Amino acid sequence: MEFKESRIYRLSRREVVRMMQRPLYMLCMIGAPLFCFIYFTSLMKEGLPQNLPAGVVDDDNTAVTRRILRNLDSFQQTQIVSQYPNFIDARNAMQRGEIYGIYYIPEGTTQKAQRFEQAKVSFYTNAAYLVPASLLYRDMTMMSEYASAGVGREMLLARGYTMDQAMGFLQPIKMDMRAVGNPWLSYSIYLNNTLIPAVIMLMIMLVTAFSVHTELKDGSSKAWMEMAGGNVYVAVAGKLLPQTLVFCLMVCGAQIWLYGYLAFPLNNPIWPMILAGVLLVLASEGFALFICSAIPSLRWALSLSTLWGVLSIPIAGFSFPVMAMPPALKALSYLFPLRYYFLIYVDQALDGLPIHYSSWFYLALLGFALMPLIDLRLLKHAALHYEYTY
């Protein structure tokens, strides 16, 4: 039999017509994902935020302290936007949200440092804004170390040490930090690789649940089943085929956009990621179908899909690692398809490992895709007997 005459083809055509009638579908399947590609990648274009506003209070105001502040200002992440006459003013500015950090140099710092009577500087960050606070903390700590070392270095050089000897004295052990895979420490790479598929996944689950259950709501489900010859597997396959294609296109488009155009780290060929993307689409549809079949109510199916889709984002562990979560949630994280996609991304794109390291994760995604086999029969029953109530 030719494909064009097959039930699946006819069902798919019916589905395309249904989708064309409601702009909602296009908005969710194409509009929302496209918006998220553009939004998230342009939002975090800088990778690592630069020139974060900071304030200083310099009660000492000598050539030495001014040099410290000039140097601090020249750090990539820090920008001194204002100098305040006293600490209270600076703190008020922080409370107004004008600055993320304060560097405070008390009176007599230079004098004490030169007399070797330990001087003390302080710095404060507004840690309610965690990212800028930690970046400023890093710059300010480094600056304070340099300030201390700078005084010592002057002294050593004056005594006839070479620069190497001076550094060997001042900093005997040095750290050499290599951020493997993301040497720029780009937040865009760190978040968008999973955040964008996460949003697409949420949309997949919602659209799947919505398109299946509107049949029940509109009372067209009997016709739908009839068209499939009473075979629920054919009915579902035909129905989901068009949206699967669109979503696969969106996920793969996202990956080509990320790894091709934006040149995010990809240390293997793109195929393992494309495979993961397609499997993520199937897994999300499978999971949503599983929910739909188990709960024959549009609203409850959508609610549960929403819960799962939204919860995926924190529990996938790309922003806050799963290892630091409470044990119960660690266990729960195994039930989220996005978690496996994230692990595949780490192995295949970020670290470029051979594919067998990720084989379990691929299998898990496949498992989610096959989940509806458990309870799809219930959907048929619902399709034939369910009545929507207002």
Partner 1 sequence: MKKFIGSIFEVALRELKKAFTDVGALVFFFIVPMGYPLLYAYLYSNEVVHEVPVVAVDECRSSLSREFLRKSDATADLKIISYCSDMEEARELIRKHKAYGLIHVPKEFSKEVAAGRQSTVNLYCDMSGMLYYKALLSGCTKVSLSMNKDIKMARLSGRSNAEKENTVQPISYEYVAMANPQNGFCSFIIPAVLIVVIQQTLVLGISMLAGTETERRRRGVIFLSSHYENPMAVLLGKGLCYFLIYAFVSLYVLCLVPLMFDLPQLWQPMDLVLFMVPLLLSCIFFAITVSYFVRDRESCFLLFVFASVPILFMSGISWPSSAIPGFWRGLSYCFPSTFGINGFVRLSGMAASLVDVKREYVCLWIQSGAYFLVSMLIYIRMYRFYDIPGAKYLRDKRAEVRERIRARISV
Strands 78-83 and 101-105, by their bridges, are: unpaired
Per-residue interface string for the shown chain with partner 1, residues 325-344, x marking contact by CB under 8 A? xx--x------------xx-
What does the alpha-carbon distance between residue 136 and residue 147 come to, in Å, rounded to a whole number? 16
Distance of CA 350 to the CA centre of its chain: 14
Q: How far apart are CA 170 and CA 173, in angstroms?
A: 9
Written as six digits, the tokens of 220 are 């067209």
Measured from the CB of residue 233, what is the shortest distance to partner 1 in angstroms? Answer: 25
CB of 286 closer than 8 Å to CB of 65:
no
CB count in 10 Å sphere of residue 33:
24
* Rounded least distance, CB 239 to partner 1, Å: 17
Q: How many residues does the chain have?
A: 390
* Interface residue with partner 1, options 320, 331, 367, 373 (CB under 8 A): 320
> Do the Cβ atoms of 317 and 339 come closer than 8 Å?
yes
Q: Name residue, tokens 């003013």.
A: 89
Minimal distance, residue 256 CB to partner 1, in Å: 21
| Sole binder of partner 1 in the list 100, 264, 308, 341 (CB under 8 A) | 100
Shortest Å, Cβ 318 to partner 1:
7
Q: Is residue 107 close enough to count as binding partner 1 by CB under 8 A?
A: no
* Interacting residue with partner 1 among 15, 58, 215, 347 (CB under 8 A): 347
- Figure out which of the listed residues 56, 248, 289, 315 binds partner 1, where binding follows CB under 8 A: 315
Residue where the block lists tokens 């999300």: 284
How many residues in the shown chain lie near partner 1 by CB under 8 A?
Answer: 120
The residues in 120-139 that bind partner 1, with binding defined as CB under 8 A, are: 120-134, 137
Q: Is 72 or 228 the residue whose CB approaches partner 1 more closely?
A: 72
Residue (15 or 347) nearer to partner 1, CB: 347
199 exposed, middle or buried (CB, 10 Å; 0-12, 13-18, 19+)?
buried
Q: Which two tokens stand for residue 89?
A: 């003013």
Q: Could you tell me the smallest distance in angstroms from the CB atom of residue 129 to partner 1?
A: 6
Contact segment (CB under 8 A) with partner 1 among 253-261, 271-279, 298-306, 371-379 equals: 298-306
Site for partner 1 contains 140 (CB under 8 A)? yes
- Name the segment binding partner 1 (CB under 8 A); options: 12-20, 228-236, 281-289, 313-321: 313-321
Cα 62–50–170 angle (5° rounding)? 50
Site string for partner 1, 256-295 (x = CB under 8 A): ----------------------------------------
Closest Cα partner for 204 from 130, 107, 49, 312? 312
What burial class does residue 11 get, using C-beta atoms within 10 Å of its C-beta: 0-12 exposed, 13-18 middle, 19+ buried?
buried
Contact positions with partner 1 (CB under 8 A) in 203-222: 203, 206-207, 210, 213-214, 217
Q: Which stretch binds partner 1 (CB under 8 A): 192-200, 241-249, 277-285, 371-379?
A: 192-200
Q: Categorise residue 229: left if φ over 0, alpha if ψ from -120 to 50, beta otherwise.
A: left
106 binds partner 1 (CB under 8 A): no
